[in-house]
C-alpha cells in the first residue's frame, strides 16, 4: 500500500487532512521520549480531531496519546484528580462522578481528548465559569528534547500560565491534575423568545444565572435559550435529544425555500416559537453534553462581553442578507476571564459567538465575510476553530504573547513541535 494511503489523517469534519510520514501511538513514557527524539518532524499531537484549524496537520509525525489515559490519583479533601491527558472527556466525567467529584462546567461536546480541549482553551458557558485550562493545578509534559518536565501552580505560576493553553507547541502533555468541585445536580431549562429582546438585554440576560447560552436559528428571529442552575431537587428524566433531526429539518427548509426568504422566515420562526419548553434535573455530566452527528465546520470568536450584542446583530444581518445557504444555528456563550497567557479569555469577561456551516459545503466565503466583523469588535479567535490570523495579528491581541513565546522556545528549542502552520501561527522562522 502506498505510504500516502497508509498514513491518512483527517479531522472530524473532513476539512483538514494530512498524509504524515508516521502515525505514532506510543505505549508508555519511554516510547514517547524516544519518538520525540527520533521520529520524523515536525511532530504534532492529535486528539479526536475536533479542531477545525490545521493544528494537527503535519508531513512528519502525528502523535496520538490514546495510551495515556485513566484516573491516576485523586484527593477527596482538595477535590483534585490526576488524569492521563489522552482521556476523552466523556469517560473522564464518569470517573470523576464515581469518586464524588465534578467539573464546574463543560462544553456541549464531550468526545474530545481532554488534553486537546485544554490546549485550545475549550469552554462552556457561564459568566463566572472559566474554560477548561482554569482547572489546571499541575502538568506533566515531555519537552522537545524528550525530557519529562513537571509544573504546578504554586511553584511555577508563570510556566503554568504559559503552558496551560499550549496549542501542542510546548511539548506533549501526558498528565494533568485538575481542581474540581463536589458532585452536583443541575436544573436545565430551555425555552424560546425573540432574539431582538435578548439582544436588547444582552449583558443582563447572559449574566443572570450560573450558566446561560442561546442558539440563534437563522431566518427565524428566535433564540433558543438554555440555562443551568445547581439544585438539590430529585432527578427527573432528560427529554430525548432531537438536535440532529432539527438541523436536518433546517437544511431541508433551506433547500426548498432559499429563494423565498420571507416564507422561510415565517415557517421556521413559527416552528421554533412553538417548541415546547424543557425543564429537568440530572447529574451534571448528563446535562452539559449533547450528541452531535451532523457534521459541520466552525468559526468562533471571543469578544469583550459588552460588544457581544452589536457583533451578533451584524453577523445575523450578514448571514440573512448575503448567505442564504447557511442553515446551522449560531451559538452564543459567555466565559469568565482568566490568567493564562494564550487564553482567548485572558483578563477579560468574554462573549463567544460561534458560526457553523454544514459539510460538505464550502464554509470559507461565509467565514471570510464574518471574520472582519469579529475583528472589528476586538475578537480573539478560538484556537481550534477556523480563522485566518497569523502571528502579527495574534501578538497584538495577547498582552503576554512575547512571554509565552519565550517559554515555548525554552521548552522546544529545536522546534520539534512546529509545523508550517504552527510557524505561521506563532511567528517562528524554520
Cell (9 digits) for 148 = 519529562
Give the Cα separation of 144 and 56 in Å (integer). 16
Class of domain 71-182: alpha beta
Burial class (CB in 10 A: 0-12, 13-18, 19+), 155: exposed
Cα 306 to Cα 181: distance, rounded to the nearest angstrom: 29
State the pLDDT at residue 261: 84
Please state the pTM of the whole predicted model: 0.95
Cα→Cα distances 330→3, 173, 298, 333, 421, Å: 40, 32, 10, 10, 27
In the chain, CATH 3.30.465.10 covers: 71-182
Regions of the chain where pLDDT drops below 70: 1-5
CATH class of the domain defined by 185-381: alpha beta
DSSP of 167-181, one letter per residue? TT-S-EEEEEEEE-E
186-236 pLDDT per residue, tens:
999 999 999 999 999 999 999 999 999 999 999 999 999 999 999 999 999
20-52 pLDDT tens trace:
999 999 999 999 999 999 999 999 999 999 999
Task: Give the residue from 214, 278, 268 showing the smallest Cα distance to 240.
Answer: 278
Q: How distant is the alpha carbon of residue 396 from its chain centre?
A: 22
Distances (CA, A) of 71 to 83, 380, 400: 5, 33, 33
List the beta strands (DSSP E) in 221-268.
Answer: 222-231
Burial per residue of 261-277, b for 16 or more beta-carbon CB atoms within 10 angstroms, e otherwise: eeebbebbbebbeeeee
| Ramachandran angles phi, psi of 279, nearest 5° | -160, 105
Task: Give the span between the Cα atoms of 334 and 345, in whole angstroms.
Answer: 10
List where CATH 3.40.462.10 sits in the chain.
185-381
For residue 221, count other CB atoms closer than 10 A to its CB.
18
Q: What angle do CA 334, 340, 346 make, to 5 degrees?
A: 45
Q: What are phi and psi of 18, to 5 degrees?
A: -155, 155
Amino acid at each position: 500500500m502506498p505510504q500516502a494511503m497508509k498514513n491518512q489523517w483527517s479531522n472530524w469534519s473532513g476539512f483538514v487532512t494530512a498524509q504524515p510520514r508516521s502515525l505514532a501511538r506510543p505505549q508508555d513514557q519511554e516510547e514517547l521520549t524516544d519518538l520525540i527524539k527520533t521520529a520524523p518532524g515536525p511532530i504534532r499531537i492529535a486528539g479526536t480531531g475536533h479542531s477545525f484549524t490545521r493544528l494537527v496537520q503535519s508531513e512528519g509525525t502525528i502523535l496520538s496519546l490514546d495510551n495515556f489515559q485513566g484516573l491516576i490519583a485523586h484527593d477527596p479533601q482538595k477535590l483534585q484528580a490526576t488524569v492521563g491527558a489522552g482521556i476523552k472527556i466523556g469517560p473522564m466525567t464518569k470517573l470523576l462522578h464515581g469518586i464524588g467529584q465534578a467539573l464546574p462546567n463543560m462544553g456541549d461536546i464531550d468526545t474530545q481528548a481532554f488534553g486537546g480541549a485544554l490546549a485550545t482553551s475549550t469552554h462552556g458557558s457561564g459568566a463566572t465559569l472559566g474554560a477548561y485550562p482554569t482547572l489546571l493545578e499541575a502538568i506533566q509534559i515531555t519537552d522537545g528534547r524528550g525530557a519529562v518536565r513537571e509544573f504546578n501552580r504554586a511553584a511555577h505560576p508563570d510556566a503554568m500560565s504559559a503552558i496551560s493553553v499550549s496549542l501542542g507547541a510546548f511539548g506533549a502533555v501526558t498528565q494533568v491534575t485538575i481542581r474540581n468541585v463536589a458532585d452536583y445536580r443541575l436544573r436545565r431549562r430551555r425555552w424560546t423568545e425573540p432574539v431582538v429582546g435578548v439582544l436588547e438585554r444582552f449583558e443582563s440576560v447572559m449574566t443572570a444565572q450560573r450558566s446561560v447560552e442561546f442558539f440563534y436559528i437563522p431566518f427565524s428571529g428566535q433564540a433558543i435559550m438554555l440555562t443551568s442552575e445547581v439544585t438539590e431537587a430529585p432527578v427527573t428524566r432528560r427529554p430525548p435529544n432531537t438536535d440532529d433531526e432539527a438541523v436536518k429539518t433546517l437544511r431541508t427548509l433551506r433547500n426548498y425555500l432559499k429563494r423565498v426568504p420571507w416564507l422561510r422566515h415565517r415557517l421556521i420562526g413559527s416552528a421554533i416559537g412553538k417548541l415546547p419548553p424543557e425543564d429537568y434535573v440530572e447529574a451534571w455530566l448528563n446535562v452539559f453534553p449533547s450528541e452531535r452527528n451532523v457534521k459541520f465546520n466552525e468559526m468562533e470568536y471571543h469578544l469583550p462581553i459588552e460588544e457581544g450584542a452589536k457583533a451578533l446583530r451584524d453577523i445575523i444581518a450578514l448571514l440573512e442578507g448575503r448567505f442564504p445557504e447557511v442553515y446551522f444555528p449560531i451559538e452564543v456563550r459567555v466565559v469568565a476571564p482568566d490568567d493564562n497567557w494564550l487564553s482567548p479569555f485572558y483578563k477579560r469577561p468574554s462573549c463567544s459567538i460561534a458560526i457553523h456551516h454544514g459539510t460538505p459545503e464550502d464554509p470559507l466565503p461565509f467565514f471570510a465575510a464574518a471574520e472582519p466583523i469579529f475583528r472589528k469588535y476586538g475578537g480573539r479567535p478560538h484556537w481550534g476553530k477556523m480563522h485566518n490570523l497569523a502571528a502579527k495579528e495574534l501578538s497584538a491581541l495577547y498582552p503576554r504573547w512575547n512571554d509565552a513565546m519565550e517559554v515555548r522556545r525554552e521548552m522546544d528549542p529545536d522546534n520539534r513541535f512546529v509545523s508550517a502552520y504552527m510557524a505561521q501561527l506563532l511567528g517562528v522562522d524554520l
